[in-house]
Structure 1
Amino acid sequence: MTAAFPPGGTDLAELPTPALLVDRPRMEANLTAMAAALDAAGVALRPHFKTSKCLAVARRQLAHGAIGFTCATPAEVTLLQDAGVADVLWAHQPVGPAKVAFAVGALARGGLTVALDSVEAAAPLARAAEAAGVAVPFVLEVDTGLHRAGVDPDRAVPTAAALAALPALELRGVLTHEGHLAAHGPDRAGLEAAGDLAGRTLVQVAEALRAAGHACPLVSVGSTPGATSAPFAAGVTEARPGTYVYFDANQVGLGSARIEQCAQTVLTRVVSAQRPGTVIVDAGIKAMSSDSIATAGTLGIVCDAAGGPLDGVEFTGGNEEHGYLTGPGTSGLRVGDLLRIVPNHACGTTNMWSALHFVAGDRAVERSPIEARH
């Protein structure tokens, strides 16, 4: 349950550490900017819920014009359906008896679309849905370069034909996740070009499906690094960015955001300074994302209590409850000093916490639960 602090809020120095913070003004600015950019392009916004897993954040995204949400897990789908969200896209293959049974039940509630990329994944769901008398709206997932899930573009038409032969399935369109853009690192021009290509490739697949007689109203791209390129390919109808709500150190490294746009931080204190060049904080890997493929190169960007980056200090590693800050800048840190860390990966960090504190300036003003965690 969301809980308010006393009038005027609580000084951050009074919070137990570590604590997960979300700067409310920064978050609101991020929501406003993304909504405005996509609205100007005539592209619908369907944020990925996995970044926040917080209904208080989701309500703000809806207030900024989101048409619904993207989910990764059954728990996320359930949380949003229970909250009355009428349009949910489950962008993960519902494979296995438990997920098939869940999908049928969630589809019966209405407003759910699933992602599929093969007959092997779709057939058990189609049979179960037919037996239950439930329709299965689905999007065909297309691989535009990530090489994770998704059918190759040149296999989309025959795959759609094979899926159309199964009972209960109703094709709504095509979907891709252009996660491969992160491989371009700080080469923003290369990243933008790759995002544009992903968008155009997906549009071409949609056009081929229509030419083959399939309805394909939905053309959905999705990533925060690609949010300035892929959605603007002519013919894309919706975008599914997630991390944009908070941004993180990875997005700073990719040029998708500036440090002053990062809304999520982990509040921590220095708890030991026994060795020159290293201090220990009370935020370890259980408080952060230890994403080993993060482009940030560290566990996060170390900032002072006001959120300003500290020169010469890096978050280079951690144990479960201890974080190791290294570098010449650590000489100025003392036991008890309050710091804030911009995580390398906001989504992974969120999943480590059961609640977040909304802050404004140096005051915590509200506490909200994070739910549907693994």
Structure 2
Amino acid sequence: MIPLSALPTPALLVDLDRLERNILAMAGAMRAAGVALRPHVKTSKCWEVARRQLDAGAIGFTCSTAAEVAWLQSHGVADLLWAHIPIGHRKVSFVVDAVAQHGGGLTVSLDSVEAARPLSAAAAAAGVTVPFVLEVNTGHARLGVEPATAVATAGALAALPGLRLRGVLTHEGHVSAAPDRPSLERAGTAAGTLLVSVAADLRAAGHEVEVVSVGSTPGATSTPFVPGVTESRAGTYVYFDANQTRVGSCTLEQCAQTVLARVASVQRAGRPIIDAGSKAMSSDAIALAGSFGLVLDRPGVTFADANEEHGFLLDDGPVPLAVGDLVRLVPNHACTTTNMWSHLYAVRGDLAVERWDISARY
């Protein structure tokens, strides 16, 4: 065990008490709703965190990258969803090999015949069948077919050799743009309702639909509770972050991930400089709201700006920060912050009790 004051800074910390409460709370909520939980592993990229999620009842994981898929398969996790359209020879070959070697435990996402044809050809040539879900746009407009074209696209995809339709998927990321929490909840319910209706249309057209998958932490209190949804892919909940506090998904007291930094300079009054910048926090601008993160336990202190290795605070607090003082910062976006680091310190109270590796980074 190491006192936080003895750690090199900057350092990525995860509060174990908060982490474990977050994991159990989401698992309990999805269990009560009768919905499977398939967390997005990109938030932690950490086996010690993933193992706790599995122990709490997660059926498997959602992945963003081939590296995440390979890493989890190396740990024996059989049920994985790669929420990514495999484009290009390398990704297509990876999917076919992964399905062949692990008994079909990998499902991919598709939204067009053009993207599916190379995968179909490679799977058929290898004598394997790749399970897929049809991604549907329910408002976020990132990937996904429009609901009106879902049946036609599903039919064309299902007719290709080497592919098997399992169901439908959406990412209701647009709900975070709602002006208030009640509006966000309504948007989440609307997204789930639309996806369930697409699933019903597919079944009416003769397709088997076993999976109706939704996924976002802001939508986790609404979208998975629509009757007919079968699984939730929320990910950020495991740590939460400053963005999630801003949209009302959590309180600051639930945020498990922080960056530990020290004050390096106070040459200009009211503007302390810390030794953590954009490379420690990431520069994610999803909901910056005028800051690079939130400062814990320092009323009146704002993380206003950052260079790569330095952070610029605005200090209007009752006790001015001094050189050498420690500050703990809640990042705006936990997932992109994780990807900046090779390891983290698991913390209880003011002690770092373990050091955990972060894997499958870019």
> Normalised by the shorter chain, which TM-score bucket?
over 0.9
Q: 2:148 aligns with which of 144, 154, 157?
A: 154
The structure-2 alpha-carbon separation of the partners of 1:277 and 1:172, relative to structure 1 and needing over 3 Å to count, comes to same
Unaligned runs of 5+ in 1: 1-8
Aligned partners of 1:101 and 1:44: how far apart in 2? 29
> Is this contact kept in 2: 1:296–1:344, CA < 8 A?
no
- SS of the residue aligned with 2:354? strand
Q: 1:163 aligns with which of 157, 163, 170?
A: 157
% identity of equivalent residues: 66
Amino acid paired to 2:35: V
Cα deviation for residue 295 of structure 1 reads 4.9
Cα deviation for residue 14 of structure 1 reads 0.5
Show the counterpart of 2:134. Answer: 140
> Is this contact kept in 1: 2:272–2:315, CA < 8 A?
no
Q: Does 1:229 align with 2:214?
A: no
1:189-338 aligned within 5 A = 189-303=182-296, 308=297, 310-329=298-317, 332-338=320-326
Unaligned runs of 5+ in 2: none
Amino acid paired to 1:52: S
Amino acid paired to 1:12: L
Aligned partners of 1:93 and 1:298: how far apart in 2? 33
Cα deviation for residue 164 of structure 1 reads 1.4
TM-score, L = length of structure 1: 0.95
Q: Does 1:118 align with 2:112?
A: yes
- SS of the residue aligned with 2:278? coil
Aligned partners of 1:75 and 1:296: how far apart in 2? 32
Aligned partners of 2:201 and 2:238: how far apart in 1? 34
TM-score, L = length of structure 2: 0.98
The structure-2 alpha-carbon separation of the partners of 1:363 and 1:80, relative to structure 1 and needing over 3 Å to count, comes to same
Cα deviation for residue 149 of structure 1 reads 0.5
Amino acid paired to 1:350: T
Q: 2:334 aligns with which of 310, 335, 346?
A: 346
Q: Does 1:55 align with 2:47?
A: yes
Amino acid paired to 2:259: V
Aligned partners of 1:270 and 1:367: how far apart in 2? 23
Aligned partners of 1:369 and 1:134: how far apart in 2? 34
Aligned partners of 2:313 and 2:59: how far apart in 1? 42
Aligned partners of 1:358 and 1:150: how far apart in 2? 37
- SS of the residue aligned with 1:122? helix
Cα deviation for residue 330 of structure 1 reads 8.5
Show the counterpart of 1:4. Answer: none
Q: 2:36 aligns with which of 44, 53, 57?
A: 44
Amino acid paired to 1:351: N
Q: Deviations over 1:85-125 (max 9, x none)?
A: 01000000000111111111111123100000000111100
The structure-2 alpha-carbon separation of the partners of 1:217 and 1:123, relative to structure 1 and needing over 3 Å to count, comes to same
Q: 1:95 aligns with which of 82, 87, 93?
A: 87
The structure-2 alpha-carbon separation of the partners of 1:157 and 1:14, relative to structure 1 and needing over 3 Å to count, comes to same
> Is this contact kept in 1: 2:15–2:257, CA < 8 A?
yes
Aligned partners of 1:296 and 1:123: how far apart in 2? 43
Q: Number of matched residues? A: 360
Deviating beyond 6 angstroms after TM superposition, the runs of 4 or more aligned structure 1 residues are none
